[in-house]
Amino acid sequence: MKKKWVLIPIIALLLFVLHFFRDPEREIPLTGVVSPADGKIIAIELVKSGKIPVIEKNGEEIFLHDLKGYITEDCHLVAIFMSPFDVHVNRSPLKGTVSRVIYTEGEYHMATALALTNERNTIIIDGDTRLIVIQIAGKFVRRIQCFVREGFSIEKGERVGRIILGSQVVLILPETYTLTVAVGSHVKAGESVIALPPPHT
C-alpha cells in the first residue's frame, strides 16, 4: 500500500513535465504580426530610437545597450509573461532572416514584471521590417534554448526557441505598426495577431 502512495508524486511530476514540454501545432494567420509566446501581456512601452535605444518608465530611463545600432526608429515593446502552465515554445512573429543572435548574461528577477536586466537571448529578424524577440530567463529556472542561428531563414510562426518554466518574452516592432492587444491580453504563440502593418506595406 505504501508503494502506491510513493508512486503518486512521481506520476504527478511526470504528468507536469509532459504538460510543460507540450508543443501543439498552431494555425498561423496569413496577415499580421503573431505573438512570439503564449501567456499574458504584462507591459507595453515605447522604445525611443537613438544612439542607445531607451524606454522611459515611471520617470526613469531604461537603456537597451544590447540593441545599440539595431533600432533606427521609435518602436513598440510588448512583454509577455509565460507562467509554468503556458506552452513555452517561442515562435517567429513574421517571415524573415535571423540577422543577429545576442546572448547576454544578467540578473534573475521575477519575470512577472518587465525584466530587461535578466539573463536574455536576443533574436533580430529582418524581413518586411525589423523585429526583435528577446527571450528572458526567470528567477528560479535559468535555461534559455535558442533553435536558430544567424543567417537562418524562418517562416512566420516557425519555432525559434523555448524557455524552461516561468519566464518572459519581449517583442519589439516599429511604432508604425498598430497594436491589436493591450496589457492583460492573453495570447498564443504563432496564432494570436498582436499587430497589423501600416496600410502601405
Mean pLDDT across the stretch 1-12?
58
- Range 148-171 average pLDDT: 93
Name the pLDDT band for 153 (thresholds 50, 70, 90).
Answer: very high
Separation of alpha carbons 70 and 152, rounded Å: 18
- Separation between Cα atoms, residue 47 and residue 54, nearest integer Å: 6
Q: Is there a domain that residue 64 lies in?
A: no
State mean pLDDT over 19-28. Answer: 77
Query: Is residue 73's pLDDT more than 90?
Result: yes
Per-residue pLDDT averaged across 47-56, rounded? 94
Query: Are the C-beta atoms of 38 and 86 separated by less than 8 Å?
Result: yes
Mean pLDDT of 165-174: 90
183 within a domain of the structure (yes/no): no
Domain contains 21: no
- Select which of 35, 49, 153, 167 is catalytic: 167
Residue 13 has pLDDT above 60, yes or no: no
Q: How high is the pLDDT of residue 6? A: 59
In a domain, 10, yes or no: no
Hey, which residues does 196 pair with through a beta bridge?
A: 178
pLDDT for the residue numbered 23? 80
Q: How far apart are CA 46 and CA 62, in angstroms?
A: 11
Find, among 177, 135, 156, 155, the residue nearest to 37 by Cα. Answer: 135
Average pLDDT, the chain: 89
Q: Count Cβ atoms within 10 A of the Cβ of residue 90 and give its class: 0-12 exposed, 13-18 middle, 19 or more buried.
A: buried
Task: State the residue for C-alpha cell 512583454.
Answer: 79
Mean pLDDT of 162-182: 93
CATH number at residue 96: 2.70.70.10
Residue 109 is part of which domain span?
Answer: 29-45+77-175
Quick one: three-class SS letters along 85-108? CCCCEEECCCCEEEEEEEEECCEC
Number of domains in the chain: 1
On whether residue 201 sits in a domain, the answer given is no
Share of the chain above pLDDT 90, in %: 70
- 190: alpha, beta or left? (left if phi > 0; alpha if psi -120 to 50): left
Active site residue 167: yes
Per-residue CA distances from 144 to 9, 42, 167 (Å): 27, 20, 9
Asked, for residue 12, whether it belongs to a domain, the answer is no
Domain contains 52: no
pLDDT of residue 72: 94
Largest CA distance in the chain: 70
Inside any domain, residue 128: yes
pLDDT given for residue 4 in this prediction:
62
Task: Looking at 21-159, list the stretches that DSSP marks H as alpha helix, in order from N- to C-terminal side.
Answer: none
